[in-house]
Amino acid sequence: MRVGLFVTCVNDTLYPRTGRAVVTLLERLGVHVDFPMDQSCCGQPLYNTGYRHHTEPLLLRHAAAFRDHDYIVTPSGSCAAMVRDNYPRIARRAAFEGRGSREVTALAEAAACTASKTYELTEFLVDVLGVTDVGARFPHPVTYHPTCHGLRVLGLRDRPRRLLEHVAGLDLRELGGAEECCGFGGTFAVKNAAVSAAMGADKARAVTATGAHAVCAVDNSCLMHIGGILSRDNSPVRPVHIAEILASTDGNLP
């Protein structure tokens, strides 16, 4: 089984720690991980801002980079959702626009092939590897924020929770209003900064109220937003990607 890590551009640039944690975790579980250097961004920021046509080359690049892999694993619910939900949509739109058949076929094939083998990390662990106890130790109070695209587009349901419940020493705290969006939303965070900040402030307040030392999620972009507010408010709660908790054996808070 050839497993390609799709680290995502946000993690590559800002959160390499998360990418390293995925590698550590998967290698510990006996998975040989590969990182195709040709990968880039899935195109989500462009697509969601209205630049579908600029997204197409990234779709093709992404598919080519992972052409030879059986599984594409990514520590991002929203990038996985982009590939699974929006790539086929982009291909359909190109067909509807009556574009050249070679172009349309290339997009359709690229979309179909990546969509079917892309897994968000917790899905890959639970559904493909069939594990819920990954041998991690993290003796801290932690709360879990289910990010929107993981929750509603991918339908991750209780997979992340089941993994967290098996982490030694971890004290999982219920987050009030867990399923409400944190207010990140990509360019929404700057285009509608006031509403985004208001949503984030409510989320940060709910996080702090749990008494957890860390808030975890399957998306660092949401954690960047929540963490940015927590940090501005001098909150002691740390944003931590779930991969880092699942990779942890020394029990240290990153």
Task: Give the HSE-up count for residue 84: Cα atoms under 13 Å, Cβ half-sphere.
Answer: 21
Distance in Å, CB of 39 to another protein, minimum: 7
| Contacts of another protein in 152-191 (CB under 8 A) | 152-153, 179-181, 183-191
Site string for another protein, 89-128 (x = CB under 8 A): x---x--x--------------------------------
Q: Does 57 bind another protein (CB under 8 A)?
A: yes
Distance in Å, CB of 61 to another protein, minimum: 6
Site string for another protein, 200-229 (x = CB under 8 A): xx----------------------xx-xxx
Q: How many residues bind another protein (CB under 8 A)?
A: 72
Whole-angstrom distance, CA of residue 163 vs CA of residue 173: 14
Nearer to another protein, 170 or 230 (CB): 230
Nearer to another protein, 85 or 171 (CB): 85
* Closest by CA position to 5, among listed 97, 74, 52: 74
Phi/psi at 3 (nearest 5 deg)?
Answer: -110, 120
| Contacts of another protein in 135-154 (CB under 8 A) | 148-149, 152-153
Given the rule CB under 8 A, which of 13-21, 104-112, 134-142, 208-216 is the region that contacts another protein? 13-21
Helical H segments across 29-178, by residue range: 44-49, 52-65, 77-81, 87-96, 101-117, 121-123, 148, 159-165
* Closest by CA position to 43, among listed 81, 77, 82, 16: 82
Nearer to another protein, 20 or 137 (CB): 20
The sign of the dihedral angle between the CA atoms of 131, 134, 139, 141 is negative
Is beta strand 118-120 parallel, antiparallel or unpaired with respect to 141-144?
unpaired
